[in-house]
Amino acid sequence: MPTTKSRRFPQVDAELARRLALVFICIVSIVLLLLGSILEATSPYLVLVPTLLAAFQISRMRTH
């Protein structure tokens, strides 16, 4: 059964979709790190949550 993404974009293969997802996750993690560095003076523990989430998602994308 084809997924919605493959039905909508048949020309996008799995490798390109994986690379686009990695680039998107990297951009989001960079933005979260910038926001975290701004918030670091007020609450250092707020920085750890998005950083750990981004690292977990990147490692999960590499295994799949």
Question: pTM value?
Answer: 0.42
Distance in angstroms (rounded) separating the CA atoms of residues 19 and 24: 9
Q: What is the pLDDT of residue 11?
A: 64
48 exposed, middle or buried (CB, 10 Å; 0-12, 13-18, 19+)? exposed
Give the residue with greater pLDDT, 50 vs 2: 50
* Sign (positive or negative) of CA dihedral 55, 16, 63, 7: positive
pLDDT at site 23: 92
pLDDT digits (tens, 9 = 90+) for 28-41: 988 988 887 777 66
Summarize the confidence of residues 48-58 as an average pLDDT.
Answer: 82
